[in-house]
Structure formats: structure tokens, C-alpha cells
Structure 1
């Protein structure tokens, strides 16, 4: 499946490896038709019910260095662009990119192979699990270029590393290395650069052993828990559990346990 060169999608069994493919601009995102391209790619992934996990990484030496500074400079010096124009640019560009990755229904593993700065850092935070190469760097440097985190990062980042650490990244503009990111729980694991994709694939293969429909339902429950109260989640959990009880995969899981064999899940 290939809609454009911006995102390269490689299918490996039940896993899709999605590579941000703009290495000459350190995988900057959010301009031109990026929003539409990302949205189209990720809509196709969601529609593929045989897909169980996504690995997100970057081409070249960066995961994603965020926005394109040359484009931002052109905007800053273009007196013809008015506030409503900026709103449309963000809604059609960066916001579509972020919403696209947020909307992915299957588990997402970020394999952070280099710098994850600004929007790149926030995209990594939208993943469900994050593995960092030892050489990876992280930052939320919006203020250093005179901007706020306009990609939704003020909502995303504190939920991953807490208010204190998010404030430190935003208000100082500092860049942190992979061991610090691990200490701050920005990533779950740091591995050797050359082992990054092998480690990410190993985690993805473990994910793929789960029943695919309840895998997606569990992610939906976890995402809903961020936005809804306890009673709402209890009600939603009950409805999802009723559906799960009626699946062939539930019966298969129990049969496999009793018969002491690996389960063969069909997604039904």
C-alpha cells in the first residue's frame, strides 16, 4: 500500500511499519497536503481488520524534528497571511496529522531512531509504547521559536510525563537524551541504535498474539478513560465485555488453555 512518499507503509504479517519519509528535512511534518496524506494512509490502516499493530519510525537520522523552520520563516515574513489563514493552515495541516495518529485503533509502537522535537515529540507521545535508540533526543522547543505548542502538545505531553516534567521541557526549551527520557518515563525502553527495529518488532509480535478485535476494543477503552469519568468507563467496559464474550476468539482462547496449545485467533 503506497499513497505517497511522505509515509512509507511496509506490511510485515499482522504488523505495519510506518516510516515518516522526509529525511532531507529531518522528517518535518504538517505543511502543504501533509494532513490529507496522513489522514488517507491511517484511514486505510484502520480499515484493515487483519492489522494488529503499527510501528512508527523515521527515515534517516531523525524520528521527526517537528515543523519545517524554513516554511515557518516564510510564513513569518508573509504579511498577506492573516489570522484566519493561519487557523486554516493548522487545521488542514498539523492538526490533521495529530488527529490521524490519535485515531489509530490498533496499538502503536514508536521506534524513535533519532531526534523527536516539537511535533515529533508529540507524535511519539501519541504512540501506546515508545522505544528509543540510545542516540535519540527529545524536546518541546516551541517557545524557543516564539510559538506555543500549537499541535495539542499541551494536552498530550503532561499526560505522559506529568505536569512538572512537561513544564520543564516547555519553559526551558532544553533537549534531553534517551537515558533522561527513560528516567522521566517519556519512553519505556532504551536500546542500542542497531537493535531498535528488532526490539520494536519483538514487542509488536507479542501484541499480535492477542485477539485482534478485543485488542482494538481495549485501546478504545484506554483512550476513552482519558476523556471520560469513572462511571462512564464502567458502562463502556460492560458493553465491550458483552461483545467480547460472544466472540469466537473468546471461546478459542478458553479452549486453547484447556487443551494446552497456542490459540489461533481469527478476529471473529
Structure 2
């Protein structure tokens, strides 16, 4: 038997599988695939319970996380690269500022963010995902959870983070970025900072957004203010802290207005 196949490790939610026990498709793929016989009519109600269980596990594990920032970026980033070092420094600065660092739990930039937090006394969180190819949780994750469904995992990123930091990455990174921007733009979530790190990498995308989407009226001018672009790790933390301080002041002012209104009405 092929040694590579026998040594391969596959995670499926909380389960660990090896060898011939590894399924050929992922849980997400089976949920979204409409091909095949009509037995999905009987299977889908049971899937709802599994989805519910993932939400319960995530809510239970992260409910007391406190202030947190999600750090996204490519799993393919070389640990010897400048981008990886930048991820470590950002994770470290966030930890020193009192934020837990939440990543996808894998290698590359995710590992860098977790490493920076763990090595500097911060809380290092990894939210992994079942994939057809194995991507194990990196060694710097202190609080970890593996998900079967992408949409459950995304909910955890959004619900328990007060900011997103996005380093260079691929399709998965873009997916997380634009979901966050859309949720903030449509006011589905409280506005919080979204920081892109890497002007050379992200500059072309932002120029296209401005020159194509904005010019053609697909977005509003103020939508461009939802994203901050920088190369400086110190600036990343400054933007996040400043945004949260401003939000705290706004909430205090609103509370004072309500209190004054209540007193006037009595």
C-alpha cells in the first residue's frame, strides 16, 4: 500500500480519518451538490442538526473571547518571506494591544498571525475548515475548532471579531474580504475597520474598484472609506484602536442622550 496514502490525515469536523476511511468529497460539496437520487430529501433535515451543532460548538468556544481581530492571507506564504514576517509582527502588535488574533488556523499568513499572538502573550485562535486536501491546524493555535461548513465558519469570524486585517492572498482571502466589506456596507454588522496590508499587492484592485465600480455608479464614494490600505504594522493597529475608541465615544454619547431624554420625560 502506498505509504503516502496510509500516512495521510484528514479532519472532518471533530473527526480524524486516515486511509480508505477518507471520503472522496467534502461535507460542503455534498450539501451543495444537487445531482443524484432524491434521497437528499431525507438527508437534508439531518444535515440541519449537524449545521446547528457546528454553530453551538463555535458559540460555546468563542463566547468569552473578548476583543478580537481576524487576520487573513494566503496559506501558501513562505515562512522565510517578508510577508510572513509581516504577519508575525502584526499578530504580535495586536496581542500587545489587547486583541485576540483569529485566523483560519492553517499555514502561511494564518500561521504567522497565530505565531505573533502566541509568542507575545495574546490569545491565538484558529478556525479550520474541512478541505479535500489536508491543511492541518498550525502549531501556534491555542484555541482551535474545525468546521465542516464554510458559512458557519464565516459567521464565527464575523461575530467574534471587531476588525479584519487582510494580507496578500488568493481566492479564499478575497472571499473573506468582500464578504466583510459587503456586510459593513449594507449595515448587516456594526461598522468596523477593514485593513489591507500590502500596497503593491492590493493597489491594483483598489484602483480598479475606484476606476470601474465607482465611475460606473456600482458603489458610492463613501464605500471607498470602508477599506484602509497600508504597509505599516503600526498603522494597522493604530487604525483599529482609533476606530474602536471612536465607536466607544459614540456609544457613550448615545447613552447620555438617552439618559437625558428619560430624565426629561419623567
Query: TM-score, structure 2 length as denominator?
Result: 0.34
Larger radius of gyration: 2
Query: TM-score, structure 1 length as denominator?
Result: 0.34
